[in-house]
Structure 1
Amino acid sequence: MYIMLLNSIGWIGLGSCTLAYLLLNLKYIRFDGWLFQALNLLGGAGLAIKALDFDDTPNFLANCLWLVIACFGMIKYFRNRPRNNDQEIPSNA
Structure 2
Amino acid sequence: MISNTIISYSVLTLGWLGTVLFIISYIQLNRGVWTLHDTKFHVYNILGSIFLVIDTVYDFSYAAAAANLFWGIVACYGLVKFRNEGRKSREGITESKKPNLV
What's the TM-score, normalizing by structure 1?
0.83
Let me know the Cα RMSD of the aligned residues. 1.8
For 1:8, which of 13, 23, 29 is the aligned residue? 13
Task: Judging by fraction of residues, say which structure has more helix.
Answer: 2
Report the equivalent of 2:53: 48
Deviation at 1:59, TM superposition (A): 0.2
Identify the residue that residue 22 of structure 2 maps to in structure 1.
Answer: 17
Q: In structure 1, what is the equivalent of residue 78 of structure 2?
A: 73
* Structure 2 residue matching 1:30: 3-state secondary structure: coil
Pick the structure with greater CA Rg.
2
Distance 2:70 2:37 in 1: 18
Cα offset, 1:56, TM superposition: 0.5
Unpaired runs of 5+ residues, structure 1, are 89-93
Cross-structure match for 1:63: 68
User: Which amino acid in structure 1 is aligned with residue 73 of structure 2?
Assistant: V
- Structure 1 vs Structure 2: percent identity of aligned residues? 23
User: Separation in 2 of the partners of 1:60 and 1:31?
Assistant: 24
Q: Tell me the amino acid that sits aligned with residue 73 of structure 1.
A: G
1:22-53 superposed Cα distances (whole Å, 9 cap, x missing partner):
11111100023211111111111111110001
Runs of 4+ in 1 over 6 A off after TM superposition: none
